[in-house]
Amino acid sequence: MRTLIKSGLPVMLALSLLLAGCGPATPAAPTKAPEATTAPAPGEPQITSKELNLYGWSEYVPQDLLDAFSQKYGVKVNYDTYASNEELLAKLQAGASGYDVIIPSDYMITVMSKLGMLEPIDLNHIPNFANIDDQFKNPPYDPGNKYTVPYQWGTVGIAVNTDKVKKPITKFADLWDPAFKSNLVVLDDEREIIGMALVVLGYDKNATDPAQLEAAKKKLQELTPNIKLYDSDSPKTALLSGEVVAGVVWNGEAALAHQENPAITYVLPEEGCGLWYDNLAIPKDPPHKDAAEAFINWVLSPEMSILITRDFPYSNPNKAALELLAKENPEAYKAYMDFPATNPPAEAIKKCHLIKDVGEAMTLWDKTWTEIKGGQ
């Protein structure tokens, strides 16, 4: 296994192979899980529920992890998916009930907690919370981790196929080059894409000034001829198929694309990339709260957390999981630490831009986004 990285294989492919135990670059065979009759050990959550309803991002929770939880606790897991924080909020506001665990991002936690849509989490029932790196605890969007625990974090930057794009790409503004006509994929995410335009113009990513949002709209309308498609679910697909040559994507999507095609690189733009933190939370009045807390604790175990990094290589806030990786597969750990999509340098993080709750200005943001995508 030591020859994988030395042989010139892309670092994220090496990571995938090492985590998979010398298997193929595609997700490895399921990890052997405890039998359903195995009782939770002392100190582990004890539950009576036989069902768990999970509502999370698409392509974000390993099936191996869900299967192992089901076998351990004898719980059936129902997994529904969404493509944006706004879709999550709209569905719950429309009256969707019955979910036990959701995976909202930082700013959406602020919104949902203000609306009384979240159930407090008893950290005494989440002993594996101790595995989280201290720098990810007590976040400003959820002081004291009253409602959330960290799941994954990451950036929004630029993926570039260097076989097809020879000009160096160093900043978001480079994407306005007419050479990219009908050759970009961008996230179908108004906060990130309008936010990108605001940053390119020198404004705050969370601007509420109507004039600044109008300027961002006009700037994005100038980019529209270059945009082939909007895709938040799997932007890597268009990159890998050759349908586009570059895009504004989640870091984990860039890492997965790089696994399959090492010519696809990840750029942390000079203006400062997007920065996000996703969390496990419990919506108000869940039908299976005991299963919800047991599931959250399960996800935070080092072994399960590493499955997440294996299948969906964003950035992992679980210190114990990364320590386990460093101990069992030092080269895989080095690959993770050396790749900017999974472990962005500190100087890049300092320049990043978080999404924040814009309050009533969200109505103006929605209108701006509709006009951008509608070509007005």
Mean pLDDT of the chain: 89
Residue for token digits 């986004």?
369
> Average pLDDT, stretch 117-126?
96
In this predicted structure, what is the pLDDT of residue 102?
A: 98
Q: Which domains does the chain have, with CATH numbers?
A: 3-153+277-341 (3.40.190.10), 154-275+349-374 (3.40.190.10)
- Residues 112, 104 contacting (CB under 8 angstroms): yes
- The number of residues in the chain equals 376
What is the per-residue pLDDT across 61-85, written as a single tens digit (0 to 9) for each? Answer: 999 999 999 999 999 999 999 988 9
What are the tokens at 90?
């709209």
**Contacts (Cβ under 8 Å, ≥6 apart) of 145:** 121, 123, 129, 137, 138, 139
What is the per-residue pLDDT across 293-305, written as a single tens digit (0 to 9) for each? Answer: 999 999 999 999 9
Of 31-45, 147-161, 260-274, the one with minimum mean pLDDT is: 31-45
User: Model-level pTM?
Assistant: 0.85
Identify the DSSP state of 4.
Answer: H
Is the pLDDT at 59 greater than 90, yes or no?
no
Q: How far is CA 120 from the centre of its chain?
A: 23
